Amino acid sequence: MNIKLAAAVLALFLAAPCTAAGYTNSELKKMFQRSVDTEDQQERGRLRAAIAKAAPDSAYGLASRAYLLYGRMTPQETIAIYSKALELDPTIAVAYHNRANAYGDLKQHALAEQDYAKAISLGFNTGMAYSSLANAQYTLGRDEEAAKNFTKALKLDPKQHFAYNNRGAIYLRRGEYDKAITDFTAALKLAQFAMAYMNRGDAWAGKKDFQKALADYSTAEEMIGPEPDLLTRRGKMYLKIPDYFKAKLEFNRALAAEPGHAVALHGLGNACYYQKNYDCAEDAYKRAIAAAPDAGDAYVALATTYQFKKRLDLSEEILKKAVARLPGRKDLRDKLLAVQVWNGNTKGAEASQTEVIASGKAAPQDYFTRGETRLEAKDYKGAEADLKQALKGNPGSVDATVLLSLAFLGSGRRSEALELFSSVADTDPAALKELRKDAAVGHEKPGGNLRALTRKMLKVYDAASGGEAQAAPAVTAGRGSSARPSAAPSQDSCYCVHYTGGMPPYFLAKAPGAPAGCKSVKFKPDPAKPGVSGLRNCEEFQEEE
Segment 295-313 mean pLDDT: 93
Residue 299: is its pLDDT beyond 90? Answer: yes
User: Residue 73: its pLDDT value, please?
Assistant: 94
Render pLDDT for 9-51 as a digit per residue (tens, 0 to 9). Answer: 444 444 444 444 467 888 999 999 999 999 899 999 999 999 9
Compute the Cα dihedral for 150, 156, 160, 161 and give only its sign.
Answer: positive
User: Residue 444: its pLDDT value, please?
Assistant: 42
Which residues face 509 on adjacent strands?
A: 496
User: Residue 214: its pLDDT value, please?
Assistant: 97
pTM, 2 dp:
0.67
User: Residue 510: its pLDDT value, please?
Assistant: 55
Compute the Cα dihedral for 158, 163, 167, 172 and give only its sign.
Answer: positive
Three-class SS state of 35 = helix
Give 491 or 257, the one with higher predicted confidence: 257
To the nearest whole percent, how much of the chain has pLDDT over 70?
80
User: Residue 182: its pLDDT value, please?
Assistant: 98
User: Residue 439: its pLDDT value, please?
Assistant: 75
SS3 content of the chain, % helix, strand, coil (to 5): 70, 5, 30
Residue 3: is its pLDDT beyond 60? Answer: no
User: Residue 71: its pLDDT value, please?
Assistant: 87
Render pLDDT for 122-148 as a digit per residue (tens, 0 to 9). Answer: 999 999 999 999 999 999 999 999 999
Question: Average pLDDT, whole number, for the chain?
Answer: 84
Report the alpha-carbon distance of residue 523 to residue 490 in Å, rounded.
9
Give the lowest-confidence range in 66-70, 89-93, 127-131, 529-533. 529-533
Give 359 or 391, the one with higher predicted confidence: 391
In this structure, are residues 20 and 31 in contact, taking their beta carbons and an 8 Å threshold?
no
Per DSSP, helices labelled H in 2-122 are 3-15, 25-37, 41-54, 59-68, 75-88, 93-105, 109-121
